[in-house]
């Protein structure tokens, strides 16, 4: 299945971000937290490790682990979602970046490579070894809980609150998505020949 720009916009709408042209046109900054002292994660005086790759690379690499395997257009979805979503929420953005830097540091420690550069199965293993599967999402908790909150939950929320993610499960208007009041009245649709996994039409 294909994730589209529309799905990212839907995810943004669900997340309450204001989707302005600027939000989607701009780049995430700073692309590398160690590029300078401008970001919360970038100050050498804090205990926060630095991020060795573009944040988007890390999030996309993580999304590859978190999302079902036959999803296309993932990078664009993540890019637009992350860019739009953290617009106007500087504290949240700092939290995402900090959690990403921590995950990256763990990867370098354990696997000897930047998280985004690991093989998918190593990325999956790193998360599980950290205990992220069973962690309580908590923006103020220990690092595992923060990775769960800012990275894992963020990406899963974006995906399953969008019509594309929902459709894979059989609901084209999932909770959080303003999909109107037609879909609840409709019955299950014929299976879409192009989409062997879905079953319901677009809302």
Partner 1 sequence: MADDGGVGDGLDRTPAAPADVCVVGSGPAGALVAHRLAARGADVVILEAGPRFEFSQRREQQERHIRPGMGDPWEMGGQRDEYSTGGRHYPLNAARVKGVGGSTLHWQGMVMRLHERDFEMATRYDVGEDWPLTYDDLRPYYAAAERELGVAGAIDNPYAPPRDDPFPLSAFPPSYSDSLFAEACERLGIDMHSVPNARNSEPYDGRASCQGYGTCRPVCPSGAKYTAESHVEKAESAGARVIDHAPVQRLEHDDEGDAVDAAVYATPDGTEHRQSAQRFVVACGGVENARLLLLSESEEYPDGLANSSGAVGRFFMDHLFAGAGGRLDERTRQNHVGFITSECHQFYDDEDPVEGLKLEFLNYAGPSPVIEALHAETWGDELLDQLRGSYGTHIAMGGLVEQLPDADNRVTLDPSRTDDHGNPVPHIEWSLSDRTERAIRRANEIQHAILEELDASIEWTVGPDATGPAYHQMGTTRMGADPGRSVVDADCRTHDLSNLWVVGSSVFPTGGAMNPTLTIAALSLRASESLADSL
Alpha-carbon gap, residue 23 to 20, rounded angstroms: 5
Q: Which is nearer to partner 1, 41 or 152 (CB)?
A: 152
- Of 30 and 166, which CB lies nearer to partner 1 in the complex structure? 166
Give yes or no for residue 180 binding partner 1 (CB under 8 A).
Answer: yes
| Least distance (Å) between residue 37 CB and partner 1 | 29
Taking the least distance from each CB to partner 1, the nearer of 180 and 193 is 180
| CA atoms within 13 A of residue 185's CA, in its CB half-sphere | 3
Judged by CB under 8 A, the residue of 21, 112, 188, 193 near partner 1 is: 188
Q: Which of 138, 191, 196, 201 binds partner 1 (CB under 8 A)?
A: 138
Query: Which own/partner pairs from 111-120 qualify as long-range (CB within 8 Å, at least 24 positions apart)?
Result: 114/52, 114/53, 114/58, 115/53, 115/58, 115/61, 115/62, 116/53, 116/54, 116/57, 116/58, 116/60, 116/61, 117/53, 118/61, 120/61, 120/64, 120/65
CB 80 to partner 1: min, Å: 17
Interaction of residue 190 with partner 1, rule CB under 8 A: no
Q: Is the peptide bond before 43 cis (omega within 30 degrees of 0)?
A: no
Q: Given the complex with partner 1, which of 29 and 136 has the nearer CB atom?
A: 136
- Is residue 37 involved in binding partner 1 (CB under 8 A)? no
Task: Return d(Cα 175, Cα 2) in angstroms, integer.
Answer: 20
User: Residue 93 Cβ, how far from partner 1 at the closest point, in Å?
Assistant: 14
Which CB, 13 or 118, lies closer to partner 1?
Answer: 13
- Return the range that interacts with partner 1 (CB under 8 A); candidates 38-46, 48-56, 103-111, 169-177: 169-177
- Cβ atoms within 10 Å, residue 45: 6
């Amino acid at each position: 299945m294909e994730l589209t720009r529309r799905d990212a916009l839907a995810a943004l709408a669900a997340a309450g971000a204001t989707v302005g042209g600027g939000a989607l046109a701009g780049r995430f900054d700073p692309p590398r937290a160690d590029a300078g002292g401008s970001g919360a994660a970038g100050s050498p005086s804090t205990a926060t490790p630095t991020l060795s790759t573009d944040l988007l690379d890390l999030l996309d690499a993580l999304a590859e682990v978190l999302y079902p395997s036959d999803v296309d257009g993932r990078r664009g979805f993540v890019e637009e979602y992350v860019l739009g979503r953290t617009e106007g929420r500087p504290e949240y953005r700092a939290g995402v970046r900090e959690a990403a830097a921590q995950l990256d540091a763990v990867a370098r420690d354990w696997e000897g490579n930047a998280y985004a550069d690991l093989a998918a199965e190593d990325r999956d293993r790193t998360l599980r070894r950290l205990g992220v599967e069973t962690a309580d999402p908590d923006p103020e908790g220990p690092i595992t809980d923060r990775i769960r909150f800012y990275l894992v939950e963020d990406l899963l929320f974006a995906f399953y609150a969008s019509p594309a993610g929902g459709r894979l499960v059989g609901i084209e208007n999932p909770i959080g998505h303003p999909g109107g009041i037609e879909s609840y009245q409709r019955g299950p649709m014929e299976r879409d020949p192009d989409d062997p996994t879905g079953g319901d039409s677009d809302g």
